[in-house]
A and B are shown apart, each in its own frame.
Chain A
């Protein structure tokens, strides 16, 4: 129990440190929200606005002007988030939760689908590769897996947009769904449209993700396949299927559990660049806009969401790993095996 408390304490401390560091770092960004607004107006310029006029408008944006010393802002902010108040987005003039909240399900849809695809395909492929160790299939798959695993997702995303989106026009290049369709969950056309719009972002992440899982699974499986208890199992006359699923797969996947939990922790922040490439309004999409606009509260909201999700993912992994693998129970207090 004390391990659990200690571990939870560590997580809270991590979140606190990350939030404080983020708060300090984003204030170090050159410029502020007023500068961004001024720059926007200068660049828009259009409505015969002179600089004097722009300055007057900027001065009128009293809600943006931040006059308190930074430590006061920090204390106020920390006090506010403890009460669940993430503040008001400067650029969108709405509570941060109202900007990010509706975007969360869409981001989770992308990242969770991509993770599910990458994980299942990767694990299955890795297992087959292990069984066919040394074959041409194994060599070819390992090569492909390595290349894809080393390729940044945004490169694949840009290729998808360029070819599948613009050149061959198979998939839409942006958005969550076709605006002409009534967005209702009982409307099949809407669901198809959501899948179609999500296909390229999901595929971009899945394509570069599965290789890593496959290679891990392959390595783990090969190691397990050489274990004595498998020989015993075979000698016991257990079916190959039973051995593959209950003995090999289970033990090979186990070391990947932490990685999976960490990956689950990235569901909110894992698609920041991809969402921007596909103009897909999710959490990452708004985060980039917030960074550009120096929208401090919205930026912090995005960072906190991503941090907390990640910390929760890792904490769950830590706390439940012992349950999955009793050898690890109790943290570092036991003897090593």
Chain B
């Protein structure tokens, strides 16, 4: 990877590593590592299956990552801005961060050689994808087929990512990602994009040479450009930096200049780490022979109608037998499994000493747990396994833990009373004992940890919030009582907001303070969390009710239409973990604007006067500033 071409404030070239140290040490990278595309599809799609609401969860005794916070230079402008945004979040609580979680990943060790659980090598999203490629997941000789699980019926699976349906797990071995990111070492390294250069608004991507698609076609810059373009045409976030106003410009700004070089023109200088966070997780799927016609149609579309017609054609296309570029190629799929065979021409094929990989159809968490216990499967990228099942795992199955930088929180609909009043939101935060919620939500696995400072920052497991991001300013932040219900403080706030306690219930103008909380019933850990929160609020005298809806109804209707007062939602960016993404999620996302109906402007005390002067703040502007290249 080339160094960052941006310049530090003293005029010297600022390398990427240097920049990392300045703006956020381990946190930045750890954050970025959870980045986009490293999807937790594994369990999250199981909303209707009574599964965990997310993908992690493990017994911390099996090896919680040790806190490794790195000190941060306090004079960093970016850090100050991050702290300022965290402070606004902490003081205004547009969302209430409740807990963070660990992702749990499994590897069997009797027939397989894999790195130990404390190895940096397991700190990649996802180990099932990277360890085979790097030669760190090899057969010891008795097994010539690696076995994982998939959610969708194999023969119904398809691999057109833009279709959105049944994009099944074999993608992990069928397609290569643009880049690699290691959570522990906080480093990006090249993969299909072997190298890159960022010079102001010009981004150059170099494609790994000598790689071919499974039909023999060379992997070229055209394929990579196709991928970037199709993502942007489908609303991908990179579009905001490349063609924010007009999709018609995409084809001019993403160009394959030769066989192995893609030139991307940005509309403004962008923070390199944020750019990488978007690029790194992309799978290279857009084989020109398969998707070229769709790219061409979208490139040449001149009207909105033409574009939506072309998009409709793309999203309606299914690709059940894909031409991939990963180390395994598609062989066949029936109702029970997808069979892949090693593609010997892949540059990393030499690291793999088994000729086949299979994905067995396991549509329920229970089936996956039992398959791991019986060693029917050789591993799982990530899966929530409760403590009673963890105890049944044979000694030969190891569990690696990966900080997820994400977790359950409460979101408030600002168009609805009473949560449009910050005092009510703060009172809720004081009443809720987040430690108790995390404990019940973790169902005996200790996989959830309560947020100490509800601030929009992640890294609780690694001690990053306190030790790195908020180093030196934690005293200014309100904890709202992490492991206790601060009912006196809450009562004070409610009285200030005009409520009085009467007959054990908080009331205003004779009307009880009512808080209906909606959430997805399929996320069992969230349901447990919601019930705990409701019981705490009730004990305090708030008429709280948990209304757990069918997951599709909740996400697709109630949540998406803003039909809730208090909703359950991940409080941090699901896909990326750099604070930029969290604050963008909290203040500037579609959800914030349309589902939570957040205002653009807040009144909050100032933390760093050099970042803002008055109490009025537009967090979206600070987020936008954070995204551009730092000085």
Q: Which residues of A contact B (CB under 8 A)?
A: 30-32, 34-57, 59-63, 91-93, 165-166, 169, 173-179, 183, 279, 281, 292, 294
Contact = CB atoms under 8 A, between A and B. Distances in A.
A35 B557 contact: yes
Contact of A173 (B237, B367, B551): B367
Given A48-B278, A59-B308, A281-B153, A169 B575 contact: no
B107 interface: no
A172 to B, nearest CB: 9
Contacts of A60: 234, 308, 311-312, 314-315
Nearest to A177: B336
A135 B559 CA distance: 64
29 contacts: A35-B555, A35-B557, A36-B552, A37-B165, A39-B47, A39-B551, A40-B165, A43-B44, A44-B45, A45-B39, A46-B40, A47-B283, A49-B236, A49-B575, A51-B590, A51-B595, A52-B590, A53-B235, A53-B237, A56-B235, A59-B308, A60-B311, A91-B165, A92-B156, A93-B318, A174-B367, A279-B364, A279-B367, A281-B153
Interface in B320-370: 334-337, 339, 358, 361-364, 367, 370
A63 B316 contact: yes
B571 to A, nearest CB: 14
Contacts of B162: 57
A46 B38 contact: yes
B557 A30 contact: yes
Contacts of B47: 39, 43
Given A61-B316, A176-B336, A179-B334, A294 B235 contact: no
B361 A279 contact: yes
Given A39-B556, A281-B153, A292-B552, 17 more contacts: A31-B557, A35-B555, A36-B552, A36-B556, A39-B554, A42-B559, A45-B39, A47-B283, A48-B37, A48-B236, A52-B235, A53-B235, A56-B311, A57-B162, A63-B312, A174-B367, A176-B336
Contacts of B316: 61-63, 93
A43 B590 CA distance: 16
B335 A31 contact: no
A197 B455 CA distance: 52
A153 to B, nearest CB: 18
Nearest first, the 4 closest Cβ-Cβ pairs linking A and B are A46-B39, A48-B36, A35-B556, A56-B235
B374 interface: yes
Contacts of B361: 174-175, 279
Contact of A48 (B44, B164, B281): B281
B44 A44 contact: yes
Given A37-B165, A39-B555, A279-B363, A50 B590 contact: yes
A59 B373 CA distance: 42
B20 interface: no
A195 to B, nearest CB: 16
B48 interface: yes
Given A40-B165, A61-B316, A281-B153, A46 B575 contact: yes
Contact of B37 (A46, A50, A62, A63): A46
Contacts of B559: 42
A53 B165 contact: no
A169 B595 CA distance: 48
Nearest to A35: B556
B594 interface: yes
A223 to B, nearest CB: 47
Contact of A61 (B315, B358, B362, B551): B315
A62 B312 contact: yes
A54 B553 CA distance: 16
Contacts of A40: 45, 164-165, 552
Interface string B153-172: 10010000110111100000
B14 interface: no
B231 to A, nearest CB: 8
A48 B576 contact: yes
Contacts of A92: 156
Interface string B587-600: 00111001100000
Contacts of A173: 367, 370
Most chain A C-beta atoms within 10 Å of own C-beta, residue among B45, B336, B364, B551: B336
Given A55-B590, A179-B334, A45 B551 contact: no
A289 to B, nearest CB: 8
Interface in B367-402: 367, 370, 373-374
A57 B556 contact: no
Interface string B552-582: 1111110110000000000000111000000
A68 to B, nearest CB: 18
B558 to A, nearest CB: 9
A53 B576 contact: no
B41 A30 contact: no
A61 B312 contact: yes
A187 to B, nearest CB: 14
A15 B603 CA distance: 64
B552 A51 contact: no
Contacts of A281: 153, 335
B235 A47 contact: no
Contacts of B41: 44, 46
